[in-house]
A and B are shown apart, each in its own frame.
Chain A
Amino acid sequence: MTGLDLETFLRIDLPGGLSAMLACLACGVLGNFLVLRKQSLMGDALSHAVLPGLVAGFLVSGSRSTGPMMLGAIAAALLATVLIQAARRLARLESGAAMGVVFSILFALGLVMLEQSHARDVDLDVDCVLSGQLETILWLAASGWGSLADPAALAELPRQLVALAGMNLAVALFVAIFWRALKLTSFDPDFATALGFRAHRFELVLMLLIAAACVAAFEAVGSILVIAMLICPAATARLLTDRYGVQMALAAGISAATG
């Protein structure tokens, strides 16, 4: 491998590939809980529900830079998650209907905000959520393998990559710490509640984590892929095993390999 090739690899291919892998890994792991809870469509719901947050982020900051828009998106995703849980519990809607109601209304709200604001005139790039911006994740400070150990160069690592790595760490910690609780509440929330476990509150925390992971992944790989990666690895693993631990490991492996 020549020096130039290595540089291109480190600058362009590595960050993109790594981001995709990390995004898929986080989604693949969290997707297990969604599939087991029959809430697979959470990714789809969130991908629509972030629109008002994107527009609000743009309006507040007045710039097209992705930072504030992503903050808005995270806020909107968290709001949508809380609303969906509220609709399920207070309105006693089944989870599919609750998601449908919340995401479609939020999406419509986002569209109206978009059309009513100046955002329309500058052609706000909503597609950045739809298909992601993998090709823009670059690590221009890299010059060779040595950069991997160079703090100055590492500080220039693409923000998306850092966010995704942090997200993965958070997901891994969460799953490791609450493994038993996750198992219990995914299979039988009523039994968990009967044991004195606050299944609803725990579920809300899980959903908020999923919302944050989804938004981080939207930016990198786009919503369509996130929707797919939340479901497909878990569903594939479900076909291959009946054991929970095996299922998790399989799903993680499948998703990382795909990414």
Chain B
Amino acid sequence: MGAHDAAEIPEALGSFLAALSLGLGFNATVVVIGTTLLGLAAGAVGAFMLLRKRALMSDALSHATLPGVALAFLLGVALETDPRALPLLLAGATATSVLGVLAVQGITRASRIREDAAIGIVLSVFFGFGVVLLSYIQALPQGGQAGLKTFILGQTAAMRVPDAELIGAVALCALLVCALLYHPFRLVCFDADYGRVVGLPVTLVDLALMGLIVVVTVIGLKAVGLIMVVALVIVPAAAARFWTERMARFVPLSALFGGVAGWIGAARSASLPRLPAGAVIVLVAGVVFVLSFLFAPARGVLADAWRRLRLRLVTVRDHFLRAAFEQLEAAGTGAAGSFALADIAEDRGWSARHAGWIARWMAARGFAAHLPDGRMHLTPTGREAAQRVTRAHRLWEQLLLVQGAGRIGQAHRSADLVEHVLSPAMVAALEAELAARGATAQPMPPAPERSRQP
């Protein structure tokens, strides 16, 4: 951040905010709107691509556009028209990227090379060819490849109003098609075979999806460049995936993330021309991704860790309570009696230190309390909870034994895993099941005779 540190920042911030509110002059506004629409379309199409497990198809596609752009430029030179006219270049890009898609599908269908390898082959061959063509064009007298290199990295600042209008209009059409074909797309993403059975033209639907991704990639070329248009397709969808398990929310959310990235990124780079727009757009999307990755409540990492921790705590609590209950039962002192922590630790295979932590935690939660003589006893809450979990454990054991589980050891191991998640409703169902099999569910079934666990 060298030269523009002190004086420019407030001004830059001002114009950034102005661009966010679309007050940065007509040209910038059109560019920002065009890029936002592009982001929306890319996010929506990317959502389907992610579910179809074809996220990197856009990678092959975007690299395959390069020879098309170069060939179109050469054609323009040969026909003596403006070789840098965007429609001409985009038409060339479309042609070779369609060829690229067909090549990937041809390779995977005709041989046993898998899709990822096919994508890699097509990508490197097409892009290599494109680079060769570019270096040939550079040697031409018509001013070299300066305009073409922006297709690799993208340059929103170089986008003219007609370009932005073209991009925005096409993106809008792509969004419309997404909305219209939402149901067939959804079916193909989740269960293409089922779709085939119910008479959906799966190949055709897939082709439509591929068409959309070609369209989005091609119009994204000018704005964000061929490498980062991949990000615009994948990143918003991957970010949205953390937030929801429902398709009807996932697709709009992905589109929204893409749109936000396009909007903020384009506005930011409109106010600071030194920042490459494509990169800023991708970084905004990246921030959205990282935030979703960490904090999304549905599948985010922190939420996940919290759920796992809670399950572990519940497991430990249940094991402590049941061990205590069984100690008291064996001692015959009744539920109000006292027990030694060391016995529980031995029963569960806990180290003394570990058991000490658990005992302190159980005391803090009000399930058990330390007695002056160093032993422990269960509080009324703890007694109730211990009774519940022990009963669930034994009912499950009993059911498995009635059903013919081979050894009591197996039934015990299974019950050990299951007792923590048996809700009252499931316990009731267990009782009914046992009754149906001629066994009575007692208030507290006796512990089955069992040898010590290995």
Instruction: Say whether A108 contacts B120, CB under 8 Å.
Output: no
User: Which of A101, A112, A131, A234 lies in contact with B279, CB distance below 8 A?
Assistant: A112
Instruction: Say whether B301 contacts A91, CB under 8 Å.
Output: yes
Interface check A99, CB cutoff 8 A:
yes
For B120, the chain A residues whose CB sits under 8 A away are 40-41, 43-44, 227-228, 230-231
Stretch of B196-204, B226-234, B440-448 on the interface side = B226-234
Interface check B73, CB cutoff 8 A:
no
Taken together as a complex, chains A and B put the C-alpha atoms of A108 and B285 apart, in Å, by 10
Instruction: Say whether A101 contacts B289, CB under 8 Å.
Output: yes
For B452, the chain A residues whose CB sits under 8 A away are none
Shortest C-beta distance, B13 to chain A (Å), equals 16
Interface check A29, CB cutoff 8 A:
no
Query: Number of B residues whose C-beta is below 8 Å from A?
Result: 52
Interface check A176, CB cutoff 8 A:
no
Q: Write the A103-117 contact mask toward B (1 if CB under 8 angstroms, else 0).
A: 011011101100111
Instruction: Say whether B282 contacts A108, CB under 8 Å.
Output: yes
User: Which of B116, B121, B235 lies in contact with A101, CB distance below 8 A?
Assistant: B235
Instruction: Say whether B56 contacts A224, CB under 8 Å.
Output: no
> If the complex has contacts A104-B228, A130-B131, are A91 and B278 also in contact, measured as CB distance less than 8 A?
no
> If the complex has contacts A104-B230, A232-B121, are A131 and B131 also in contact, measured as CB distance less than 8 A?
yes
For A90, the chain B residues whose CB sits under 8 A away are 293, 301, 304
User: Which of A48, A96, A232 lies in contact with B56, CB distance below 8 A?
Assistant: A96
User: Which of A91, A108, A116 lies in contact with B274, CB distance below 8 A?
Assistant: A116
For B283, the chain A residues whose CB sits under 8 A away are 105, 108-109, 112
For A41, the chain B residues whose CB sits under 8 A away are 56, 59, 116, 119-120, 123
Instruction: Say whether B121 contacts A228, CB under 8 Å.
Output: yes
Taken together as a complex, chains A and B put the C-alpha atoms of A93 and B131 apart, in Å, by 32
Taken together as a complex, chains A and B put the C-alpha atoms of A41 and B228 apart, in Å, by 16
Shortest C-beta distance, B123 to chain A (Å), equals 6
Shortest C-beta distance, A113 to chain B (Å), equals 9
For A118, the chain B residues whose CB sits under 8 A away are 2
Stretch of B107-115, B344-352, B392-400 on the interface side = B107-115
Instruction: Say whether A105 contacts B116, CB under 8 Å.
Output: no
Q: Write the B32-59 contact mask toward A (1 if CB under 8 angstroms, else 0).
A: 0000000000000000001001111011
Instruction: Say whether A111 contacts B301, CB under 8 Å.
Output: no
Which of A90, A93, A239 has the largest count of B CB atoms less than 10 A from its CB? A93
Which of B116, B282, B301, B304 has the largest count of A CB atoms less than 10 A from its CB? B116
For A115, the chain B residues whose CB sits under 8 A away are 274-276, 279
Which residue on A lies nearest to B113, using beta carbons?
A: A235
Interface check B117, CB cutoff 8 A:
yes
Within 8 A of B (CB), among A199-256: 224-225, 227-228, 230-232, 234-235, 238-239
Pull 7 A–B residue pairs with CB atoms less than 8 Å apart, ordered by A: A90-B301, A94-B55, A100-B58, A101-B234, A108-B228, A109-B283, A225-B124
Could you tell me which A residues sit within 8 Å of B by CB distance?
35, 38-41, 43-44, 48, 90-94, 96-97, 99-101, 104-105, 107-109, 111-112, 115-118, 130-131, 224-225, 227-228, 230-232, 234-235, 238-239
Could you tell me which B residues sit within 8 Å of A by CB distance?
1-2, 50, 53-56, 58-59, 111-114, 116-117, 119-121, 123-125, 127-128, 131, 153, 227-228, 230-231, 233-235, 237-238, 241-242, 274-276, 278-283, 285-286, 289, 293, 299, 301, 304
